[in-house]
Structure 1
């Protein structure tokens, strides 16, 4: 299993339920390393709040959002509307 496969599945489960977050909010939460705590609390999902490689995943996502601009997300990943999809794309791109 790739290092970030499990957290990608957790976020995919939120997308499957129809949940959506703005790209701007996701970028800010990734920058602050609070994305999984936020998602777990908002969607009442303890699995997404606490998983084995949470710290490494949040470190990776912080570095990811520092590397790209919002326009880059659209050009490279073709993501315009859902920050949750951006998270999955970042984890798949790892």
Structure 2
């Protein structure tokens, strides 16, 4: 646009706060249909990340009551869109920094 070259790498994002529940969703909703959902953390504990995977590629993620991870999730989604497969064991391991998955 306007003759400026560059990549458009924005990933769709939204958030909501509902009383004591806060959620941030990052990713491409159309690609989540039929995708596998894996969890980093335990949903029953009330603080976790859900990832939608297709062929071991992250297409979306939603952090629930867990903050300052949306940028890392967006990078995983960008990698998935570019064809990068992830190591699912590292993705769900809370001891592995999200930026190092």
Q: Give the structure-2-normalised TM-score.
A: 0.31
Structure with max Cα Rg: 2
Normalized per residue, the structure richer in strand is: 2
Which structure would you say has the larger RCO, counting Cα contacts within 8 Å and 6 or more residues apart? Answer: 1
Normalized per residue, the structure richer in helix is: 1
Q: Give the structure-1-normalised TM-score.
A: 0.32
